[in-house]
């Protein structure tokens, strides 16, 4: 029988953070079975370790509706489930080193991030689906599409209340994200020089919203660095999940000597 573990990532409280399923021995599972398990678990993602060779692990991620190339919070959960040490996850997006310390905090280093323009027509369609006016946008954080293992448009607003009142058009946003192959939408409010509140709609995965999104955090870190919006060496705090009653705290570290973005947080079992 397949053993499925459940962890909450980016929190020390099992009732907070983003829950993830973890299957540490998925060698005998085909794609259809992994997809079915992810749907049964019902979390935004379940991580499946399909093979291992020493500290090298082949890992795949399934949402309730589809496979995704990379998932940060399920990476944190799976690494903590494996235990302290250095692990190398081989994902559909590339190789992701993950270190777990003795306190149960995992730090992943993303694949090399990159940022591209968000075309005006796509931005207009995105704002229409979010039901946000263009004048709500923060001119200091311009809209872009960022990649850190998966693609995430970055859209920032000047009002925390705007972020709190998220009420998007699910069919319209799902269709747009599917067409553009976006994984989540990183919605942002800047609360300080290195502190941000974020929310991440994920309708293409069958989930209204993620309470913590490590892949988007990596993409956002790459965006901030590439646009020069934070110092080249910085430690950032992302607050997510508060509006859903599942508070999450994600630490993002930028190091000019490293192309990838480091994303850190704990994970705890869900009983």
Give span(s): CATH 3.10.310.10, the chain.
Answer: 5-103, 114-269
Class of domain 114-269: alpha beta
Instruction: Give the integer Cα–Cα distance in Å for 69 and 92.
Output: 5
233 is catalytic: no
Please give the DSSP secondary-structure letter assigned to residue 92.
Answer: T
Mean per-residue pLDDT, 121-141: 98
Mean per-residue pLDDT, 125-152: 98
CA pseudo-torsion sign 77, 174, 130, 215: positive
Instruction: Give the pLDDT band of residue 257 (cuts 50, 70, 90).
Output: very high
Mean per-residue pLDDT, 112-136: 98
Is residue 271 over pLDDT 90?
no
What is the per-residue pLDDT for 58? 98
pLDDT tens track for 74-112? 999 999 999 999 999 999 999 999 999 999 999 999 999
Per annotation, catalytic residue among 3, 40, 45, 233:
45
Mean per-residue pLDDT, 228-240: 98
Q: Could you tell me which CATH number the domain at 5-103 has?
A: 3.10.310.10
Q: What's the burial of 175, exposed, middle or buried (CB within 10 Å: 0-12/13-18/19+)?
A: middle
What is the per-residue pLDDT for 1? 75
Mean per-residue pLDDT, 150-171: 98
Mean per-residue pLDDT, 13-28: 97
pLDDT tens track for 261-270? 999 999 999 9
């Amino acid at each position: 029988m397949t053993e499925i573990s459940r962890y909450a990532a980016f929190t020390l409280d099992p009732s907070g953070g983003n829950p993830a399923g973890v299957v540490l021995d998925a060698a005998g599972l085909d794609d259809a079975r992994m997809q079915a398990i992810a749907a049964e678990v019902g979390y935004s993602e379940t991580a499946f370790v399909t093979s291992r060779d020493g500290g090298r692990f082949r890992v795949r991620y399934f949402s309730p509706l589809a496979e995704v190339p990379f998932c940060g919070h399920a990476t944190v959960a799976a690494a903590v489930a494996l235990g302290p040490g250095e692990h190398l996850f081989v994902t559909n997006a590339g190789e992701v080193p993950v270190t777990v310390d003795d306190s149960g905090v995992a730090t992943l280093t993303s694949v090399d991030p990159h940022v591209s323009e968000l075309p005006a027509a796509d931005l207009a369609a995105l704002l229409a689906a979010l039901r946000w006016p263009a004048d709500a946008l923060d001119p200091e954080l311009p809209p872009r599409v960022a990649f850190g293992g998966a693609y995430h448009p970055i859209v920032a607003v000047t009002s925390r209340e705007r972020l709190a009142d998220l009420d998007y058009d699910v069919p319209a946003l799902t269709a747009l994200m599917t067409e553009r192959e976006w994984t989540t939408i990183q919605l942002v409010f800047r609360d300080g020089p290195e502190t941000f509140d974020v929310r991440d709609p994920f309708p293409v995965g069958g989930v209204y919203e993620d309470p913590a999104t490590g892949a988007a955090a990596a993409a956002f870190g790459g965006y901030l660095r590439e646009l020069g919006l934070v110092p080249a060496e910085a430690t950032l705090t992302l607050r997510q999940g508060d509006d859903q009653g599942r508070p999450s705290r994600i630490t993002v570290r930028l190091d000019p000597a490293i192309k990838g973005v480091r994303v850190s947080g704990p994970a705890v079992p869900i009983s």
